[in-house]
C-alpha cells in the first residue's frame, strides 16, 4: 500500500508539550499462543495531546487494533511505558484499570457492542451506572447525549430496531457518557454503508471540533483525510506520523 495521503499538519505540536493525554514509550505486545508467538507491536513511541484527532492507518494485521486496545486499557503491554493523563497504567490494579476504562476512555467498536436487550437510553446509561451516577441524573444525561447524536426520537428503541448508523451513534453517545479524556474508535464506519458511515464521520469530526480528543483506526480514506494527523503502522512499528514527532 502506498502512502495515499498528503502529509499535512494543521495542528502542530512541539516535543515536550505539557501532559499529553497518551504517552507511550517502547511499547511492545507479544501474543504468546504456546508454539506461536506473534510480535504484534515492536517498540511504539506515541504521544497524543489533548484536543488532537489522530487517524491510525496501516495494512491488515499491522497492529492497529492491538495498539488501540492497549491505549484503551483493554489489554496490557508486554513491555514499555504507557501513561494515560500522566498516570502510569502499569501501576494500576484491576479496579484501577476498570475505573480508568470507565472514566477516562470512550470506546467505539466496529460492531457497535451494544447490549441487545437494552434500549438506546439504557445502553448509554451503562457507563453512568458503573460510574455511580444517581438514576435521575443518569437518565437525563443519556437523553441529552442521544439528542446530541440525533436520536432524541429513538430513546426506547433496542439495537435490533435501529439501523447500523443509528446503532453506531448510540455507541458514540455511550462513549461520551462519562466525559472521557479520549475517544477511541476501531473502524467505526467499517460495518456501515457510505451514507451512514459519513454521518458517523461527521459526528466524530463535530465532537473533535467541540474539544474531544480522538484516536480512530480506519481503512476509510475519507475518515483519515479529515484527521489533521495520520499515523501509519506496518508490522508493529510506526512508519509515518504526520504529527512530526517521530
Ligand X SMILES: Nc1ncnc2c1ncn2[C@@H]1O[C@H](COP(=O)(O)OP(=O)(O)OP(=O)(O)O)[C@@H](O)[C@H]1O
Residues near ligand X, by CB under 6 A: 31, 33, 38, 40, 58, 60-66
- The CB-nearest residue to Mg ion is 65
Dig out the grid coordinates for 219 from the structure: 481503512
CA 11 – CA 112 distance, rounded (Å): 30
CA distance 63 to 69: 10
Which CB, 110 or 123, lies closer to ligand X? Answer: 110
Cα–Cα–Cα angle for 8, 109, 111, rounded to 5 degrees? 125
The count of chain residues that interact with Mg ion, using the rule CB under 5 A, is: 1
What's the length of the chain? 246
40-48, 58-66, 93-101, 208-216 -> range binding Mg ion (CB under 5 A):
58-66
Which partner, Mg ion, ligand X, none, binds residue 123 by CB below 5 to 8 Å per kind? none
Residue 64: CB minimum distance to Mg ion, A: 5
User: Which residue lies nearer to ligand X by CB, 61 or 86?
Assistant: 61
31 binds, among ligand X, Mg ion, none (CB under 5 to 8 A by kind): ligand X
CB of 36: closest distance to ligand X in angstroms? 8
Told to check if 168 binds Mg ion by CB under 5 A, we report no
Burial 217-244 (b: 16+ CB within 10 A, else e): bbebeebbebbbbbbbbeebbbebbbbe
- Regarding 65 and contact with Mg ion (CB under 5 A), the answer is yes
- Number of Cβ atoms within 10 Å of the Cβ of 33: 8
Q: Which of Mg ion, ligand X, none lies near 213, with the C-beta cut-off 5 to 8 A by kind?
A: none
Strands (E), 92-241: 105-108, 182-186, 214-217, 229-234, 237-241
Chain residues in the site for Mg ion (CB under 5 A): 65
Amino acid at each position: 500500500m502506498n502512502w495515499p495521503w498528503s502529509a499535512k499538519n494543521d495542528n502542530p505540536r512541539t516535543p515536550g508539550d505539557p501532559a499529553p493525554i497518551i504517552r507511550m514509550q517502547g511499547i511492545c505486545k507479544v501474543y504468546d499462543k504456546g508454539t506461536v508467538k506473534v510480535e504484534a507491536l515492536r517498540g511504539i513511541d506515541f504521544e497524543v495531546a489533548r484536543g488532537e484527532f489522530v487517524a491510525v492507518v496501516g495494512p491488515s494485521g499491522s497492529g492497529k487494533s492491538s495498539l488501540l486496545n492497549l491505549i484503551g486499557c483493554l489489554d496490557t503491554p508486554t513491555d514499555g511505558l504507557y501513561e494515560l493523563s500522566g498516570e502510569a497504567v502499569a501501576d494500576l490494579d484491576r479496579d484501577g484499570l476498570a475505573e480508568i476504562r470507565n472514566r477516562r476512555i470512550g470506546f467505539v467498536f466496529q460492531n457497535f457492542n451494544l447490549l441487545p436487550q437494552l434500549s438506546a437510553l439504557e445502553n448509554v446509561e451503562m457507563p453512568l451506572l458503573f460510574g455511580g451516577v444517581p438514576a435521575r441524573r443518569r437518565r437525563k444525561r443519556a437523553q441529552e447525549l442521544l439528542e446530541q447524536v440525533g436520536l432524541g426520537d429513538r430513546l426506547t428503541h433496542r439495537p435490533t430496531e435501529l439501523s447500523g448508523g443509528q446503532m453506531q451513534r448510540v455507541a458514540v453517545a455511550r462513549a461520551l457518557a462519562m466525559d472521557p479524556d479520549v475517544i477511541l474508535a476501531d473502524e467505526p464506519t467499517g460495518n456501515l454503508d457510505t451514507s451512514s458511515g459519513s454521518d458517523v464521520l461527521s459526528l466524530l469530526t463535530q465532537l473533535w471540533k467541540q474539544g474531544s480528543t480522538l484516536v480512530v483506526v480506519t481503512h476509510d480514506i475519507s475518515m483519515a483525510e479529515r484527521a489533521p494527523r495520520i499515523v501509519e503502522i506496518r508490522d508493529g512499528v510506526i512508519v509515518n506520523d504526520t504529527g512530526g514527532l517521530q
